Each structure stands twice: as C-alpha cells, then as structure tokens.
Structure 1
Amino acid sequence: MDRTPKNLLLTYILCLPLGLLGAHRFYLGHRALGVVYLILTVAGLASAPWGIGFVFGGVVLLLCLLDLVRLPGLVRRANGGLN
C-alpha cells in the first residue's frame, strides 16, 4: 500500500476533470471505488445510444459531486488522520 501523504489540492485537481473516471479515488488508494466509477462511466457511454446512459451517468455524477464535499475528510483519512 502506498504510504505517500496525499495532497488535497491534487485530489481536487484529479476529481474535477477526471472524477467520472475515478482518478481521485485511485489516487487516494480506493481502487475498488475507482473501478466502480470507471465501470459506471463506460456503461453510461456505451448505453447512451439506447437512451439509458443517463442513469449510469447520473449516478456517477452524483457520486462525484458528493466526493467534492467529502474530499477533505477522505484525504485526512488516507493520510492516517481521524475523520
């Protein structure tokens, strides 16, 4: 496991343009959640021609918006601090 201290600014920089791909979650060491974000985004893009892509896209977008609020705590926890 990577014990390098995580930077809040870098986490925000990753979340804003690449959040739908789970980049910020991978950076924080949450690989499983990063994969979930990635799968939801790919599923949304793949199912867009049938009109159901907005469901997957909406879920991952909501998760990213929630993460924007939760990032300070997630970074503290990743750095070994308490909630």
Structure 2
Amino acid sequence: MSPPTFRVPLSPQEGWLSDGRQVLRFRPTRWERDYQLLEITSGELLAGEPVPLLKNRREISRSEALKLWGEKRKAGWRLCRPQW
C-alpha cells in the first residue's frame, strides 16, 4: 500500500481541515477552464454538539483557496472527515 499523497487535485473536489476547535470546508462552486471559485465555510466545534456551529461562508478564487489551504496545513491543521 502506497503512502497518501497530498498533491493538489486538478479537478474539483471537496476538502475538509480542522485544528480541533475549528473546521474549514473547501467546496468547488464554479469550475471552468479559466475561472475557478471555491466556497469556504467555517465552523466551530462545540462540546456536546454533533455538528459544528457555522460561522462564515465566502467564495474565493482557486489560487486564494490553495494559499489558504497551505497556510492552514503549515499551521498544523489536519485533514478531517466531513462535519456537516
């Protein structure tokens, strides 16, 4: 079995990151050859609650999303399963 790879996908995919307190969902919303947008939804994990409290939603370009993903990974955020 080969180790997991963390290459950026070329086609649209949903991705989730968490730092144990907060959650970010990256979801492609518009994917054309020269115009790509992702919706970034943030949530806060609350003790005793099955689903995070949704805090913010915004749409950003693919390049901004890749930069944000990289910054969060460097800061210790980890991949997580879908939260909602």
Note whether the superposition's TM-score is higher than 0.5. Answer: no
Structure-1-length-normalised TM-score: 0.33
Query: Which structure's residues are more often helix, by fraction?
Result: 1
Q: TM-score by structure 2 length?
A: 0.33
By percentage of residues, which structure has more strand? 2
* Larger RCO of the pair (alpha carbons < 8 Å, separation 6+): 1
